[in-house]
Structure 1
Amino acid sequence: MTIHIAVICSSEFAQRVQTIESELSSIKLDYYLYNEPQQAANLVRELKPCDAVFFSGSIPYIYAKEICESLPIPSHYLHQDETAISTTLLSIMRRDELSTIQEVSMDLVEPQIIHNVLEDIGFVSIPKLLKIDPKMEMKEIIHFHHELYEQKKITRAITSVHAVYESLKQLNVPVVRMIDPKSSIIKGIIDTKNMALLAKSQSAKIAIGYIQLNGDTIDQSKELLLFSTLFKTRLIQVKNNQFIMYMTQGDVERVVNSLTNEEWKQLSAVPFKLAFGYGKSIEDATQNAKDALKFTKENSVNIITEKKQLKGPYPHQNKSIELRTKEPKLVEIAKRTALSPANLSKVLLFSRTHPAIEFTAYDLERFLQVSRRTTERILKKLVDHQYAKIVGEEMTYQQGRPRSLYKLNIPTFI
């Protein structure tokens, strides 16, 4: 199988990769060229059908990251690592016979890398360094090198940005580009290929869907046709208002990740529940879909994966809740408190995302979307077993009793 990869890069980088294309088996590269890395986001919008996207560095990727996160295919970039830094420094020190590395200026996304390299080889002095920020204008990077050269503080500049290289040459500043080692480029592209293959294999796996319509049973043909067309499959009736669908995980992900709130509302004139299950077999996927339906509220979608992760509810949220506990510490907490793995996972997710360490029962209730009684029952179990404690009170209104402030005593990032 040939994997088609879109390469977003400068013309110079494209020429470099083209010399090693023969060593990349089962890979077809299509190049999208920019003059400045800020143009990377617009190039992503122009992509023709491909299996993955590869960026020539972290800088163009940063500019395109937001749009890449909405793509149905994986994206990856060439990391500027110790090998690139060491190769570039060795090349310039040997060729230009510099007396000290302090004669050099460098712009980097991660300056700490060069500190690591020089520390490992016993260098005390360092080049003049500029950390590249995504919001930084190219002229700021150019000015950094040019000013140091004009002040005779450097004799050579090293840049990670092709556009900066061209501008410094016009200003007669001795400059070299950061060297991207052949081995690093090959590894980056092969890693991108493997990401594409993994995405394809996951996308082709079986998925079972259940749809439950809660409206008038006399005429549901319009709603059924819309759902059938949307998921490109046939609906089979299993109960009065319940239907089953057979499809792939790729079909499911394509739909739930692309539809807006308004588009979901327009799908059905009657209330509906939609649930999907993934699994290693049809039986596993079917059971997971049935279980997902139990968690699903009106006009929303939930998914249970083969690893027993509950994803959703779409379109309002895209949380991932663990329904199965393997971590020994969490198993112990679940047994002692008699909390289900799902509720325990939700509490941990709440702890990771809540803006403050302290919280009220109301804060947790809103996050869990359950009743106050259920929330207080969960908190009581945690407090009784010293996995949470009351640390204060909050009074944000003039009348009534103050709210207790809680703090968890659980390893949040297990």
Structure 2
Amino acid sequence: MYRIGVVGPSLSVNRILKLANEMEQEMEFIPYSYTEAKEVAHIVSAHDHQVDFWLFSGYIPYRIAANTLPSDENLVYIFSTESAIYKGFMELVYVEGKLLDRVSIDMILSTNVAEGEGLQQLQSTVKELHLKTFDVDIDPEELTQFHLELWKQQRTEAALTCYPTVHEALQEAGVPSYWMSPTRVEIFQTIRIFFEKIKTSYYKDTQIGVEMIEIKEFDSIKERMKNPYQIQYLELRMKETLIQLCEKLDGSLIEEGNGRYTIFSSRGAIEREIHTLQEKVQHLSLEADTTVAVGIGFGQTVFSAEVNAQRALRQSKEKVEQGIVIFQDDGTIVESAGQEEELTYSYRTDDKDFLEKLKSGNISVKTFKKIDALIQKMSWNHFTAKDLAAHLQMSERNAQRIMADLCEVDLAECVGEESHYTRGRPTKMYRLK
């Protein structure tokens, strides 16, 4: 059973829990209420090890948690739409018993609602709309003063706010106000999508994972050994290292012989222990005084996982530098997994026109996707063949050929030249179309 931490003001948490328990009985929801948003950092730090996922009442607590925890992968928040603005304005009109002409409103800068259709509709409904956008680290007192000053100057008749504490402060000061919280429909839709994400995560986590580890040039290592006992001692030390890894993965080790090993485990365990794998591979490399190739495959069956692992191992062996390669069952490849240089791309596409162009240029889908992924990761507006060669471990001549072929089939274009020297040809700069 998954444990879900629900974080927000007590009123929001109660609404979320009521709806969540109506929809799903196979998960345990744990409430974590706060009075002020700044408490979120302590809540998630203290209880992150006790829950599997976090569900936040809005963007503000979500953003604080994302800045606190090392990863935002298991964090989801209730996404508000323009409906919250409509609802808040109509509630104020109902309470005041009249149409309002002058209103102040605060909105989170990082969301699209501040520029959305709902705000534009409200601007056309009232004569004066005073808007204050803010980031998540703002002091709520600043928002309170924004609304209060406008009220005292008789420039507004009511206020709409995203902060419950601001709403309470304005109410105490006698200012008609409404706290814009997500509607029931918004909560329902977010929770429904959230449940699907959790189930997808579960099925992915339980996929079969196969790690294939190969000591490169193992025959040469054996030839260098002075007597057979040295190679046997080396194999024993390497096997001990891999057994320690298996213990972490709750997996099983098969010794294939001649410096090659296979570990069977689950996808979830392998992904969680990718840094442990890196450490053990580095240890093996130092022990054997050579590079180690590692290929990981994921799949629904042992066969498909093994096939993917073999593909990954072949690609890892082709790399000059030591690195882990992962082949997933959806056609995704991850190179240098767990490192800063990690690169994720796909080797599949169903775009027939695109495939025809690649075929005409004699370029594989994998090569193009790999280049595209690198450009996205490096945020390059333009690049040179030398840039590609340096990051993709290929010769500059090969990179030049690939770019020339891509330009030939209209998948890339030359956008300029650069020259750092007084002699020689200038370097061409490219970008993908």
Q: 59-68 or 120-129, which moves further after superposition?
A: 120-129
After TM superposition, give the deviation of residue 355 of structure 1 in Å. Answer: 4.1
SS in 2 for 1:338: coil
Residue of structure 1 equivalent to 2:104: 105
Residue of structure 2 equivalent to 1:401: 424
Q: 33-42 or 373-382, which moves further after superposition?
A: 33-42
Q: Give the percent of matched residue pairs that are identical in Structure 1 and Structure 2.
A: 22
Amino acid at match of 2:298: Y
* 1:85 equivalenced with 2:109 (yes/no): no
- Picking from 382, 385, 408, the partner of 1:358 is 382
CA–CA distance in structure 2, aligned partners of residues 114 and 343 of structure 1: 39
* 1:274 equivalenced with 2:294 (yes/no): yes
CA–CA distance in structure 2, aligned partners of residues 322 and 150 of structure 1: 59
SS in 1 for 2:273: helix
After TM superposition, give the deviation of residue 407 of structure 1 in Å. Answer: 2.4
Q: Is the 8 A contact 1:81 1:113 kept in 2?
A: no
* 1:54 equivalenced with 2:55 (yes/no): yes
Residue of structure 2 equivalent to 1:65: 66
After TM superposition, give the deviation of residue 230 of structure 1 in Å. Answer: 3.1
Residue of structure 2 equivalent to 1:381: 405
CA–CA distance in structure 1, aligned partners of residues 41 and 145 of structure 2: 25
- Picking from 133, 140, 143, the partner of 1:141 is 143
After TM superposition, give the deviation of residue 44 of structure 1 in Å. Answer: 1.8
Residue of structure 1 equivalent to 2:227: none
Q: Aligned in 2, Cα 1:408/1:292: closer, same or farther, shift over 3 Å?
A: same
Q: Deviations over 1:158-196 (max 9, x none)?
A: 211123223334444332211432232233233222211
Residue of structure 2 equivalent to 1:95: 95
Residue of structure 1 equivalent to 2:268: 250
Q: Is the 8 A contact 1:264 1:315 kept in 2?
A: no
SS in 2 for 1:307: coil
Q: Deviations over 1:237-286 (max 9, x none)?
A: 12311111111111111112x55977864576333222111123222211
Amino acid at match of 1:291: R
- Picking from 306, 311, 324, the partner of 1:301 is 324
Q: Aligned in 2, Cα 1:174/1:267: closer, same or farther, shift over 3 Å?
A: farther
Q: Deviations over 1:1-50 (max 9, x none)?
A: x5421111122322334554652331421112233223323322222433
CA–CA distance in structure 2, aligned partners of residues 120 and 139 of structure 1: 28
Residue of structure 1 equivalent to 2:243: 225
Residue of structure 2 equivalent to 1:13: 12
Residue of structure 2 equivalent to 1:155: 157
CA–CA distance in structure 1, aligned partners of residues 3 and 367 of structure 2: 42
Q: 214-223 or 195-204, which moves further after superposition?
A: 214-223
**1:16-35 matched pairs, under 5 angstroms:** 16-20=15-19, 22-26=21-25, 27-35=27-35
Q: Deviations over 1:123-177 (max 9, x none)?
A: 4436322223234332322221121112111122221112322333444433221
SS in 2 for 1:127: strand
Residue of structure 2 equivalent to 1:40: 40
CA–CA distance in structure 2, aligned partners of residues 232 and 74 of structure 1: 23
Q: Is the 8 A contact 1:111 1:130 kept in 2?
A: no
Residue of structure 1 equivalent to 2:228: none
* 1:168 equivalenced with 2:170 (yes/no): yes
After TM superposition, give the deviation of residue 303 of structure 1 in Å. Answer: 0.6
After TM superposition, give the deviation of residue 386 of structure 1 in Å. Answer: 4.1
Q: 75-84 or 384-393, which moves further after superposition?
A: 384-393
CA–CA distance in structure 1, aligned partners of residues 383 and 266 of structure 2: 41
CA–CA distance in structure 2, aligned partners of residues 234 and 409 of structure 1: 44
Residue of structure 1 equivalent to 2:200: 198
After TM superposition, give the deviation of residue 205 of structure 1 in Å. Answer: 1.0
Q: CA RMSD in A?
A: 2.8
Residue of structure 2 equivalent to 1:331: 355
Q: Is the 8 A contact 1:393 1:402 kept in 2?
A: no
Residue of structure 1 equivalent to 2:75: 75
CA–CA distance in structure 2, aligned partners of residues 115 and 376 of structure 1: 45
SS in 2 for 1:382: helix
Q: Is the 8 A contact 2:296 2:325 kept in 1?
A: yes
Residue of structure 2 equivalent to 1:188: 190
**1:284-295 matched pairs, under 5 angstroms:** 284-295=304-315
Amino acid at match of 2:334: K
CA–CA distance in structure 1, aligned partners of residues 352 and 124 of structure 2: 45
CA–CA distance in structure 2, aligned partners of residues 239 and 399 of structure 1: 56
Q: Is the 8 A contact 1:323 1:342 kept in 2?
A: yes
Scaled by the length of structure 2, the TM-score of the pair is 0.84
Residue of structure 1 equivalent to 2:367: 343
Q: Deviations over 1:294-324 (max 9, x none)?
A: 2214542111011121112123233212112
Amino acid at match of 1:197: K
CA–CA distance in structure 2, aligned partners of residues 121 and 162 of structure 1: 21
CA–CA distance in structure 2, aligned partners of residues 278 and 63 of structure 1: 34
Gaps of 5+ in 1: none
Gaps of 5+ in 2: 222-230
Structure number having the greater helix percentage: 2
